[in-house]
Structure 1
């Protein structure tokens, strides 16, 4: 090899080394986790609410009650006549005392042809509502079974009949699931809805619930992380944080995600809070999506506060949420269907009215419905 060529080799190697160093520095600047192992890098890049053993709330907390608190709650309930709190006469009296401002058309039977080209919301009980936007029907947390329980013979029993059967619903286009608790994800109801004429609806669910449903044989299932969106036709569906937890058995606590939904349509924007304790998440949601045309906000299953506060808002906090969202027309959900906690049937009604009066909010801006009521 000529001497000149030999002298060029060190120069070439030096320049190549400098180039490689520059590329490495650029890569390190672009990705501060590049020196980590694959598993460590994935952990550093994942959202903060993702954990090795499941999920947490947006503030890093988890709703995990020690056995001592569970026993304390159980013991306190021994002094309460729980059946008397939801006696049939008491329920009828509570409905009769609801303010005139909350009254709206009651729909008996199918809503297939009524109001086809206008927006309509109907409460079927607990967190189950039918939302009609134009010709599209959206169903939230569908629950049509007799009990909110893995067993048919024990567990919270329905306090009133379902105002509409699944067969009377008409075709459902989208199903929104907030989390996998038995009072929100009822597998028999979902199986029946999936058999509707024309094929199953699209089911939009939290991360982890999508895997579970697909393994159970469901099709057209979409899983969402917080702040993730999916555009389907004229609709944008956004999954948003809630302060809660998940689990259907002894070994799956917080293994699947939980949250609420924002449904965005050119003519209508809807917020479904799902199941939640109070948190600053509502302010983040409002910043991104307000104003809303309609919000579905939980108002029940809140006593005793020392046990329920970090997982279920009460009516006073529901009014705070209503205000934080920009005071949209709001509908109270998660009440009056299953006896889950220790308040009397009429307490959400009385407490919501008191909270609204305290904040000088017109009663017709935040309503409770009787089952089947439509607006």
Structure 2
């Protein structure tokens, strides 16, 4: 195989593993990451979405990859915002969110600095030379990043669990890392197991006085490579703070809005939801795992979120839509739903969102 074909296929392989290891058939081997009791979302070997959909097959992956319709992306798509230099701490009920890129957000409130799905690497791939490459630099340089207290990693796909970044953060700040079941086995050799806490859906843990972290369901899946499909859990998180509740989803399919309605019923009013709205085409392939802008707006309404920080767009080309198509589709969906565009902010790297207090 010549180098050109190898790079093409290695790029497909990187995207495949990022999207969930669709080269792997349902593994019959024992779970390499987690050994725990059977539950309503774990069958003893694999995690699953209750009443949900399984990941697509290898043949469906090939149909997508060779089916055409992929919009070209620019090699560089710079953010209109300069790299941010965040405050050292944000106290009280102020809530400030700064976009790093993709699903990496700095959340500052109640004296805590919380990072979600941090990725500072140039590529989200098992390879250093191939796979999705960022088209804009991180919206905060590591040098300007304040001391991080808490890192939330929602699942183990390469665009959310970046070992190089976790290692750098752990060595610099000795931060606490919270992640769903099984992902500690992936992170532990790199960052040390002592600072990693795993959580199951429905679990909760205090972060500081008046701040509690809850682990909640979302409709997605997991894999890092061949043969480990759905062996580690995926989740959303809800952070309960004195200034209001913050709901973070890294990736999710809309799943008929079931999880959005459940979060509202369980937790009540949400001040801010961090919702993905990119990487959604073609719909026949992506619908179970990535919601589109219209569904993200529906999720905002179903969860009762007062404001949304929109993410998972404009940094890594993962799917077929153009780099700015999610924004246009989001604005159309918001206008159709009668929701002010200022309430659902499609954040760009370096953009700072001071979230208003929610009014009842």
TM-score scaled by length of structure 1: 0.79
The 5-angstrom pairing of residues 1-375 of structure 1 reads: 46-59=38-51, 61-63=53-55, 65-77=56-68, 80=70, 82=71, 84-86=72-74, 88=76, 91=77, 108-113=83-88, 118-196=94-172, 199-218=173-192, 219-234=194-209, 235-279=211-255, 280-375=258-353
TM-aligned CA distance change 1:253 to 1:44, over 3 Å:
closer
Deviations 1:118-157 (A, max 9, x none): 3210011100000000321000000000000111100000
Q: Give the Cα–Cα distance (whole angstroms) in 2 for the partners of residues 174 and 44 of structure 1.
A: 25
How far the C-alpha of 1:167 sits from its partner, in A, is 2.5
Gaps of 5+ in 1: 1-42, 97-105
Deviations 1:292-349 (A, max 9, x none): 1111000000000011001100000000000011142001111111000000011111
Q: How many residues align?
A: 314
**Secondary structure of 2:266's partner?**
helix
How far the C-alpha of 1:109 sits from its partner, in A, is 4.6
TM-score scaled by length of structure 2: 0.83
How far the C-alpha of 1:115 sits from its partner, in A, is 5.1
Deviations 1:155-179 (A, max 9, x none): 0000101122222101000000100
TM-aligned CA distance change 1:307 to 1:336, over 3 Å:
same
**Secondary structure of 1:55's partner?**
coil
**Secondary structure of 1:175's partner?**
strand
Structure with bigger helix share is 1
**Secondary structure of 2:284's partner?**
helix
**Secondary structure of 2:64's partner?**
helix
**Secondary structure of 2:352's partner?**
coil
Gaps of 5+ in 2: 1-34, 354-360
What RMSD, in angstroms, separates the aligned Cα atoms of the two structures?
A: 2.0
